[in-house]
Structure 1
């Protein structure tokens, strides 16, 4: 099996890569059948972004801390594990942001797109779904749209729902909402077109963040799922992503 190994900059991950390359070989990315990533969840997310265009499946092994998106690290039996994997397919979010000067930006997010206030002033944001205004004025620290894969991360910390991978929905979650006080967000179909318009943008500046890409002083942000891009993740059968997301809902 032709494997392309990549690892984070930590000493532990680099040492693991050296051992695995010595044992299983290492081929150029254009000849690879699979990518094996060694690091933590942040590095796994970076790997998905870096190799999104390759359409190669990615098998992560944990050399970080939490390792939610990764399999356990073991030097033995890698080929056998790769032959027995469970496949999960993800689609990223596409963020189109226009800043206050009129400049347009696009970025992809695998976990979430977050709108965050930049100053001591609360943000005021109007929310429209498929062209229909649903929230005239959300006064808040911010608001985010999360994929199922990202629903256990920032979204969950902001009291948003955990979403099953194959549920076909997205989470729309306010961050420290002040008004409407009782609004706790929404679960939207994955086909939804979500548009945010920043109110009083000069007085209350807002940034938009798609995973690690930040655009400051935005005026409008549109988010849609990018269905033509498929990210293929590989998991050991007993530790699939669907099971991990289910188990996360019952963590103490």
Structure 2
């Protein structure tokens, strides 16, 4: 059967390693532009891969990342050989982003998407005081903490894991709601929410206890109200080698020695 992948575009981070490998691929293959490509190769680390997902998400292009950084959780091993065949054999995962709408104390409203997590963090020496609503119902009247986040399954192994949140398998249709250094309530360690939930955060006394909200790379300071839900209409299409799928990586993170 004739391959569906005929034209490949390639982008690379500015690191010397990524640029050197981009030059090597250009010598071996006739690379296409983004507008002409059937698939996109991204050369860099996890941060560059995440930025690439944001930049091309409305193109519906499958992205095959190759690691030129350190951890490479969202990436495949770099190899210049048999590139078309490896992309054709790769497994596709659809990663839906979180949609955040944040209101600030000066009346602005900012919207953003996050494939890893939406996080709220205190920006003063005082703890944040946050009221939590899920689907319009108040669940916590005052969470005293350094912050709180909502993480996707793909993002659950990142900041969420560092904050002692749960790792979420792909396809579980849940999000992780994880507090950061909670003080009150003492015994509340977070929750798992259905990915259909609307989650609202009201910042109490925002002038006295200012809070920022981040959606992946975007930070909004001095927020007063944040609404988050998962957007299933704009998934990123990520390709992984069959022997090292994203699902397998998430399993492996739960059995690290």
TM more than 0.5 = yes
1:189 corresponds in structure 2 to 194
Q: CA deviation at 1:182?
A: 0.7
The answer as to 2:243 corresponding to 1:238 is yes
Report how far residue 82 of structure 1 moved: 0.9
Secondary structure of residue in 1 paired with 2:250 = helix
1:133 aligns to 2:133 (yes or no): no
Where does residue 22 of structure 1 map in the other structure?
27
For structure 1, the residue ranges without an aligned partner over 5 or more in a row are none
Aligned residue for 1:221?
Answer: 226
1:32 lines up with 2:37 in the alignment = yes
Q: Distance between the aligned counterparts of 1:149 and 1:68, measured in 2?
A: 9
* Equivalent-residue separation in structure 1 for 2:29 and 2:142 (angstroms): 56
Taking only aligned residues, the RMSD between alpha carbons, in angstroms, comes to: 0.6
Q: 2:93, 2:61 → 1: CA distance?
A: 12
Give 1:176's aligned residue.
181
1:10 aligns with 2:26: no
| 1:202-221 matched pairs, under 5 angstroms | 202-221=207-226
1:55 to 55, 60, 72: 60
Name the residue aligned to 2:102. 97
Structure 2: runs of 5 or more not aligned: 1-5
Map of 1:78 onto structure 2: 83
Deviations 1:22-43 (A, max 9, x none): 1111111110000000000000
SS in 2 for 1:137: strand
Secondary structure of 2:154's match? coil
User: Which runs of structure 1 show a deviation greater than 3 angstroms over 4 or more consecutive aligned residues?
Assistant: none
Residues 44-98 of structure 1: per-residue CA shift (max 9 Å, x gap): 0010011111110000000000000000001111111111110100100000000
Residue matched to 1:117: 122
2:169 is aligned with 1:147:
no
How many residue pairs were aligned?
A: 252
How many angstroms apart in 1 are the aligned matches of 2:19 and 2:99? 32
In the alignment, the residues of structure 2 paired with residue 96 and residue 7 of structure 1 have an alpha-carbon distance, to the nearest angstrom, of 30
Deviation at 1:249, TM superposition (A): 0.5
Q: CA deviation at 1:101?
A: 1.3
- In structure 1, the partner of 2:113 is 108
TM-score by length of 1: 0.99
Deviation of 1:200 (Å)? 0.8
Partner SS, residue 142 of structure 2: strand
